[in-house]
Amino acid sequence: MSLLVRYTLKTKDDHAAQTSAMTALVGGLKSENIAGLNYSCFSTDDPTRFIGLLEFSDDETKQAFLDSKSFATYREAVGPTFANPPETTDITAVASTRD
């Protein structure tokens, strides 16, 4: 199971802070070592828009991510910079070069 998340910031001035927060989130998730979780972050050609791709092995892994200290810290830090709540879409892998 996977989730595509689109983030839009209020202003392009928040770009550097968002990039730092995403880097810290991924570092924190790595240290929390949630089995079955893969999280990738992407910036776009629009400095106010970002994309997150979350892959979970099961519902328990998704809940572990949602309950993680790293995600809570991230939400607290960047939540006020979002123009609106992140848009999420459940997605299903069809093909990938990832093992």
Helical (H) or strand (E) element with 40:
strand 37-43
- 2 contacts 90 by C-beta, under 8 angstroms: yes
What average pLDDT score do residues 29-51 get?
Answer: 95
Asked if residue 97 belongs to a domain, the reply is no
What average pLDDT score do residues 51-79 get?
Answer: 95
- pLDDT value at 58 more than 80: yes
The pTM of the full predicted model, rounded to 2 decimals, is 0.87
Asked if residue 56 belongs to a domain, the reply is yes
Asked if residue 99 belongs to a domain, the reply is no
| 91 token code pair | 């997605």
Asked if residue 37 belongs to a domain, the reply is yes
Query: In total, how many domains does the chain have?
Result: 1
Asked if residue 12 belongs to a domain, the reply is yes
Q: What is the pLDDT of residue 98?
A: 78
Asked if residue 60 belongs to a domain, the reply is yes
CATH code of the domain containing 6: 3.30.70.100
Asked if residue 79 belongs to a domain, the reply is yes
Q: How far is CA 11 from CA 7, 18, 24, 63, 70, in A?
A: 12, 11, 21, 31, 24
Structural domain for 26, as ranges:
2-91
